Amino acid sequence: MAFGCNGKILRVNLTTRKISVEEPGEKIYRQYLGGGTLALHYLLNELKPGTDPLGPDNILIFSASVLTGALPAPGMNKYTVAAKSPLSGGLGESEAGGWFAPELKAAGFDAVVIQGKAAKPVYLWVHDGEAEIRDASHLWGKVTGEVQKAVKKELGDERVRIAQIGPAGEKLVKYACIMNELKHFNGRAGLGAVMGSKNLRAIAVRGTKAQEVSDRDKASAILKSVRESYVEDPAGLGCLGTARVAPILSAGGILPTRNFSTGSFEKAEDIGGKRLAETILKGRGTCHGCYIRCKREVEARTPYEISAEYGGPEYETIASIGSLLGVGSLEAISKGNELCAQYGIDTISFGTTVSFAMECYEKGILTSRDTKGLDLHFGNHETMLKLIELVARREGFGDLLAEGAEIAAKRIGRGAEKYALHVKGQPLPMHEPRGKKSLALAYALSPTGADHLENPHDPFFEKEGGMKDIHPLGLLDPLPSLDLSVRKVRMFVYLQQYYNWLNSIGMCIFAAKPFGPFTITHLVEYTRAVTGWDTSLWEAVKVGERYANLARVFNLREGLGEKEDRLPERLHQGLEGGLLKGEKIDPEEFARAREMYYGMMGWDPQSGVPSKYKLEELNVGWTLPLLKS
């Protein structure tokens, strides 16, 4: 077995209460590395197509990687949660950082595969090679902060790390999320609902095993070199957090505002990182091993009581329940962030679903009778806050919104559907494809629906200087952000596989180029030093491609194909205001780009079905019979 891995996958069947350990062998680890790629190996082999995502036969997987926990290293702490998504009916997966994954590795496992459904609420306790299913009836219905405290007390160890859902997951809110240590979220794809449907409230892990590293001196030298190259900006990601992004995007005309109608928000400065730092910032949070410390921790007393135990709003939240809703109060946004964390709701999907409802209300498609008296005009932050609890509890108007914008729009009818901004059921995140055109491909083609982390965004690569970080991929020529030519498609294909590889090794994008200090070359050398494998960037990118192709097969089997690789109509219409007023995604240019993407990936250029040649080349020819079925 390679160094860096435990070589052990924990298998739990909640119906039969059977717990076992699988040892898949080194070649599986080498070809999948971890994350969603490893998860897909199980999902494709064991999950029947057509399975109800909220039924007992769905499979929920928590997957770390061969590099996680080897040495404390910035960004090397992520894990993927994967299952069939209740939002899309296709692949659901989402990454989170924090503390859970290194602890899982220390507990002797590389991943946990959960099947079945418990007869009543339970939590899983995993510790030093062992696992047990424990009663969670006393935890059910409680907010995440209370459960965190209760489980640590019950297990008698403050250092236990806990991944959990909140009450929203228990109520099968379609965009309920999973979090660890209250501040780190597997936000997207409705994975919290899957976990809730299994009556699984939490997974607690504690471990004392150190990973064996093949060449510890070499690995440490690489980390030292990475550390030395990192210079903290006095007003950058570490100091001001992702929160600093809102006013910058607004100036550029690409801050999603009022349901993506426009790109500039008059109150952008009021909700940015500088204002946050000057008012409610209590501290900077971080994840295992990371000195970038990008996370916010906020505290306030008035007008809302906000506790730092849930961290603070990151950019996506500042936009999704801020500018997207016309809300310009940082305090209301921060309170909303805390409530979403307490109840376990994805702030992105919640925001885009509420913005859908607000636009319907503004246009008279929804009335106060429909909303049960709630005023849903843009800007009403009190309504936004009320809706979080209503959605989490599936009460009143919240019950409809708990289904997500796509289904809510179908049920409302009356022309509501054009205001529901989603791809494959997953509501749009807070980046504007009309200003960063590779995102048109990212949103339409991500296997999990609209996803802003498929690739590093266009502005990094507009000038020669910015290309240096991605030279090892063979990308040499800068391109304008508004370009969607064949050259941009090629750039997107290469960068998407780069990010697919990062997800497979549980690496945070903020610690790797272009954001952070790890170069592509560092990462390959670090993999060699930890695992002992004579590996290369070639092999690494092939893992990325493997992910893309396995995910594609999964989705095709579930009936998701080229018809679902589309953008909401609004993105084909011009931005109504801001610096890029009038800019849109041209439908024909998009269609050409999409065809080019399929072809470059080795898929049929019209249908987007992977060719048998491609699947065999990636050594996943075993999926061919699955495509035919």
Partner 1 sequence: MIHVRVKAYAELQGYNPEKGEEFTHEVQEGSTIQKLMESLRLPEHRVMLILKNEKKAKEEDSLSDGDAVFFYPVIGGG
Binding site for partner 1 (CB under 8 A): 231, 233-237, 240, 242, 244-245, 247-249, 251-252, 273-274, 314-316, 431, 436, 452-453, 456-460, 462-467, 478, 509-510, 514-515, 579
Is the CB of 36 or the CB of 272 nearer to partner 1? 272
Q: Measured on CA atoms in the order 291, 292, 294, 297, is the torsion positive or negative?
A: positive
Is the CB of 150 or the CB of 453 nearer to partner 1? 453
Per DSSP (E only), the strands in 414-517 are 422-423, 426-427
Is the CB of 574 or the CB of 602 nearer to partner 1? 574
Minimum CB separation of residue 306 from partner 1 in Å reads: 21
Is the CB of 94 or the CB of 380 nearer to partner 1? 94
DSSP 207-267: --PPPP-TTHHHHHHHHHHHHHH----TTSHHHH-GGGHHHHHHHTT-S-BTTTTBS--TT
In three-state secondary structure terms, 574 is: coil
Is the CB of 169 or the CB of 427 nearer to partner 1? 427
Q: Measured on CA atoms in the order 261, 264, 270, 276, is the torsion positive or negative?
A: positive
Minimum CB separation of residue 148 from partner 1 in Å reads: 25
Distance CA 28, CA 23 (A): 10
Q: Are residues 426 and 449 in contact, defined by beta-carbon separation less than 8 angstroms?
A: yes
Is the CB of 233 or the CB of 395 nearer to partner 1? 233
> Strand pairing partners for 178?
186
Minimum CB separation of residue 245 from partner 1 in Å reads: 5
Separation of first and last alpha carbons in the chain: 35
Minimum CB separation of residue 242 from partner 1 in Å reads: 3
Element (H or E) spanning 359, and its range? helix 347-362
Torsion, CA 492, CA 498, CA 502, CA 504, rounded to 10: 100
Minimum CB separation of residue 215 from partner 1 in Å reads: 32
Minimum CB separation of residue 243 from partner 1 in Å reads: 9
Q: Are residues 367 and 146 in contact, defined by beta-carbon separation less than 8 angstroms?
A: no
Is the CB of 326 or the CB of 578 nearer to partner 1? 578
Element (H or E) spanning 94, and its range? strand 91-96
Minimum CB separation of residue 232 from partner 1 in Å reads: 8
Q: Are residues 461 and 417 in contact, defined by beta-carbon separation less than 8 angstroms?
A: no
Minimum CB separation of residue 503 from partner 1 in Å reads: 13
Is the CB of 145 or the CB of 236 nearer to partner 1? 236
DSSP 120-176: S-EEEEEETTEEEEEE-TTTTT--HHHHHHHHHHHHT-TT-EEEE--HHHHTT-TTB
Minimum CB separation of residue 389 from partner 1 in Å reads: 26
Location of structure tokens 């209503």? 390
Minimum CB separation of residue 233 from partner 1 in Å reads: 4
Is the CB of 42 or the CB of 498 nearer to partner 1? 498
Element (H or E) spanning 93, and its range? strand 91-96
Is the CB of 499 or the CB of 533 nearer to partner 1? 499
Minimum CB separation of residue 574 from partner 1 in Å reads: 17
Report the DSSP pairing between strands 111-115 and 178-180: unpaired
Cis peptide before 514, with omega less than 30 degrees from 0? yes
Is the CB of 119 or the CB of 235 nearer to partner 1? 235
SS3 content of the chain, % helix, strand, coil (to 5): 45, 15, 45
Minimum CB separation of residue 608 from partner 1 in Å reads: 25
Is the CB of 352 or the CB of 531 nearer to partner 1? 352
Distance CA 439, CA 445 (A): 9
The pair of three-digit structure tokens given for residue 436, joined into one six-digit string: 């960063």
Minimum CB separation of residue 268 from partner 1 in Å reads: 12
Q: How many CB atoms lie within 10 A of CB 17?
A: 13
Is the CB of 241 or the CB of 398 nearer to partner 1? 241
Length of the chain: 629
The pair of three-digit structure tokens given for residue 193, joined into one six-digit string: 């609902």
Distance CA 80, CA 130 (A): 21
Minimum CB separation of residue 183 from partner 1 in Å reads: 15
Location of structure tokens 């640590």? 152
Is the CB of 274 or the CB of 542 nearer to partner 1? 274
Helices 587-600, 486-504: inter-axial angle, 10-degree rounding: 50
Distance CA 463, CA 480 (A): 8
